[in-house]
Structure 1
């Protein structure tokens, strides 16, 4: 046994170089962007829905690592499960055996979607979507996938083919055969299905970009159309699944919806070990894995690894024992209700939408002359700057981390850990109210920061 590597000593010696290391060796635009918007902080420790900076100051996390930290950071049950699986010295990833943990996790996952039968484990949400696209195309013998405008399903080539944001797709064409439709447009979906070459329709029940929910009845009606034309329904629950919206899956908010394939990831990891899963119907899996010759026709080198499976099992156990789904529904309803009460009070605040603990706060053009002039200035420079003006002081002045819900959108998305409590709701609403007061006062740090953003936006043109 060697003792030549000391991680704590390395972090103590070099941790202060974090931004310089990223600028030199990784994506150089990340530290530049963080510095521009004042997010270049140093965080040292985290637990639950909170983390602490280098000065020991507490911050509230309303971002959850883009939804990964469903149970918050360092949940003791998940942490213990990972220690236990490492201490067990399992013969992991031999590839020519059938270890128990993948089967046990698949069994637990499928219990929440009793109409589905089998699971493929990968390493991310993007891989889960890639798997669903491949399986749908093979099972139906058709090439084309229909998706929604403004959808986000991942950034690898296949998943990018069903990404509704042009900024992500630009320069990476040609992609897979695909066709976008508007979320909720059944007529457009039926027109595409009549062409006879559509394998599947992939959809987020609530879109991550902008937090737009599928209209009531749309998923059920889409499912009926798809099945009538021999195509499949793929529900992308990578961000919305595992309790985020107040049901285990977001598609379960609508009666009668039973997707043929369901993609999950993010929160299933417990925030530790990446894991993605594609759940599907028996006949689809049997078509893909139709013989022993095809046993490895779709696989992942690190898929079903013991650490990921242990993390997933621990997450599902915690969710059941702690009532996480019901808690997300209750606390999410409280937070949304408190925010909706502010809409009549602030002319820049237009709408609160979403379900559970996936909430969108949308801003829009004010009615008063003074604020309208400032709003127009921001919109002329670049759409989305006002939302960024709200996100920045929430962090800098109130120590709350949030995000703008997509490029050039005047929407803030709240996807906090599902363990936030009423005190956290109070803290956020109080801080958000203070920022809105400042913005509607016509001066202060919000608009000072807005002028900085305008200069940056103009300089980049």
Structure 2
């Protein structure tokens, strides 16, 4: 007789049952077994809806309401949700060994070869992993092994991940402090400041400078024109490796295949992830030159110093190969440039119209909207500074909540600047969908002339949420 797990563990949820969970059942599982305070926070602004279907830029809830996804998995969905060619690519290799350590995986080798055709300059050797943080970890290790130096320079406001090494070079104290001491030999300088970089590298004791071409979690911060070109020259001058973190900006997002191409530079190490697996499979990589790779790992003794069990597995590699092909065939970099220009122009028109929308910035289809903080007036004094704190930590979340609950558009604030919401839709987003976003922002800005108006609107949403659960 077949042994059934439900006979022994009746509370075990089979896959079909997990897919049919109600919204409250899902909340309860997260409260009891994952992160209760996070799910409670998400629930206050109705960010805990049950979505059951997704295609392209659209997702649907259980009531078959359609939402537009302008968050795009934090830049992981450049090809949109569930691209049929990616699904087919993964299905086509289902009979191949997915993990086999006793032989080199032919699909991983093909993917590395293909990636070298797309990356700038002489970047050639790739190591595959599963997440952006893992790519950064590998890049930091490679830099130390190749240079024999210990120190790293990073930027204030940067975000490179939350694993130990990646967190050590992430430029926000809030995320680093609870886990101190982190890696030694890390120094932070202002983003966009080439004089500060030159001072930091002048002793020639720095293994690498790690930088994002555009700071994503920092609030979609675009550096001064030519910044990366000057950075490249300074790193070369002081024999410091340049690590460019394109985990969020890569694969067409900024209007170029890689954002570093906007300044015409080639890094020593390039970190990639998010959209690399097409939003279907976890896939990451760091890629470097033959000289750097062989200096660090160029012997049989060193060849296994850095490994990953799941890195470059068959299904992930198949998704990566298909992703590169689709990006090229559909010229999605060009689409991102054109659609981004269209969206930026119209957002700037809204900015002129509404003081509540303080700033619009970005490149291609990675755009940040910063909203105006309240002035320190009597209401702030009466609340003992609570209004100011609320604005500094939750203003972006309130705007995102308005977009979600009243206009069915998914966005989120940036981690290092909560006053900024990010717009990172799939590069396949239509102009009609862009117009729907613009219309929704027009309504929100017209209705919320000030921070106080936004607090009232969000308060109603929070109160409604609490009443429904009471």
TM-score (structure 2 length as normaliser):
0.90
Q: Specify whether residues 117 and 10 from structure 1 end up closer, same or farther in structure 2 by C-alpha distance, changes over 3 A only.
A: closer
Q: Check the 8 A contact 1:211/1:413 in 2, yes or no.
A: yes
Q: Does 1:327 align with 2:370?
A: no
Aligned to 1:439: 448
For 2:31 and 2:130, the matched residues in 1 are separated by: 27
Structure 2 CA distance for aligned equivalents of residues 23 and 274 of structure 1: 26
Name structure 2 gaps, 5 residues minimum. 6-13, 464-470
Please say if 1:234 is aligned against 2:243.
yes
Q: 1:66 aligns with which of 65, 74, 80?
A: 74
Give the superposition deviation at 1:38.
Answer: 2.2
2:204 aligned with 1:196: yes
Task: Report the counterpart of residue 12 of structure 1 in structure 2.
Answer: 20
User: What corresponds to 1:268 in structure 2?
Assistant: 276
Whole-angstrom distance in 2 between the partners of 1:13 and 1:331: 37
1:252 counterpart SS class: helix
Q: Which moved more, 1:58-67 or 1:9-18?
A: 9-18
Following the alignment from structure 2 to structure 1, what is the Cα–Cα distance between the partners of residues 21 and 369?
Answer: 41
Structure 1: gaps spanning 5 or more residues: 455-461
- Give 2:9's aligned residue: none
Task: Name the SS of the counterpart of 1:409 in structure 2.
Answer: strand
1:131 alignment partner, SS class? helix
- Alignment correspondent of 1:168: 175
- Equivalent residue number for residue 360 of structure 2: 352
Map of 1:41-440 to 2, 5 A cutoff? Answer: 41-86=49-94, 89-115=95-121, 116-176=123-183, 177-208=185-216, 209-255=218-264, 257-365=265-373, 378-407=387-416, 409-440=418-449
Within 1, Cα distance between the matches of 2:452 and 2:200?
51
Give the whole-Å Cα distance in 1 for the aligned partners of 2:188 and 2:214: 16
Q: 1:10 to 1:394 in 2, by over 3 A?
A: closer
Contact 2:160 2:170 in 1 (8 A): yes
Q: Write the distance in 2 (CA, Å) between the matches of 1:438 and 1:279.
A: 48
Secondary structure at 1:293 match in 2: coil
Residues 371 and 442 of structure 1 are in contact (CA less than 8 Å); yes or no, is this contact kept in structure 2? no
Please give the per-residue CA displacement for 1:328-347, whole angstroms capped at 9, x wherever unaligned. Answer: 11111111111011111111
Query: What is the rounded CA distance, in whole Å, between the counterparts of 1:112 and 1:313 in structure 2?
Result: 12
Question: Following TM superposition, by how much is the alpha carbon of 1:195 offset from its aligned partner in structure 2, in angstroms?
Answer: 2.1
Contact 1:393 1:446 in 2 (8 A): no
- Secondary structure (helix, strand or coil) at the match of 1:292 reads coil
Q: Distance in 2 between matches of 1:74 and 1:3?
A: 35
Structure 1 position 30, deviation (Å) = 2.0
Name the counterpart of 1:458. none
Check conservation: 2:380, 2:388, Cα contact below 8 A. no
Taking the aligned partners of 1:237 and 1:445, their CA distance within structure 2 comes to: 34
Match of 2:466 in 1: none
Distance in 2 (alpha carbons) for counterparts of 1:415 and 1:442: 24
1:204 and 1:349 map into 2 onto residues whose CA distance is 25
TM-aligned CA deviation for residue 7 of structure 1 = 2.6
| Shift of residue 436, structure 1, vs aligned partner | 0.5
Match of 2:35 among 21, 27, 43: 27
User: What is the Cα-based RMSD across aligned positions, in Å?
Assistant: 2.6
Deviation at 1:387? 2.4
Q: Deviation of residue 37 (structure 1)?
A: 2.0
- For residues 91-143 of structure 1, the C-alpha deviation after alignment (integer angstroms, 9 at most, x for no partner) is 34322212211111112211122421111101111111111111111111100
Give the structure 1 partner of residue 467 of structure 2.
none
Residues in 1 aligned to 2:376 and 2:460: alpha-carbon distance in whole angstroms: 20
Q: Give SS of 2:310's match.
A: coil
- C-alpha separation in 2, matches of 1:195 and 1:453: 54
Give distance in 2, aligned partners of 1:243 and 1:374: 48
Pick closer, same or farther for the CA change 1:282–1:347 going to 2, 3 Å: same
Which residue in 2 is equivalent to 1:37?
45
Distance in 1, matches of 2:75 and 2:20, equals 29
* Paired residues of 2:413 and 2:421 also in contact (CA < 8 A): yes
Residue 154 of structure 1, CA deviation: 0.6
Compared with structure 1, are the counterparts of its residues 4 and 262 closer, same or farther at alpha carbon in structure 2 (3 Å cutoff)?
A: farther
How many residues align? The count is 450
Question: Deviation at 1:409?
Answer: 3.0
Cα distance in 2 between the residues matched to 1:423 and 1:322: 19
What is the CA distance between 1:266 and its match in structure 2?
0.4
- Structure-2 change in CA distance of 1:241 and 1:27 (3 Å): same
Matched residue SS, 1:396: helix
Measure, in 2, the Cα distance between the counterparts of 1:61 and 1:84: 28
Shift of 1:366: 6.9
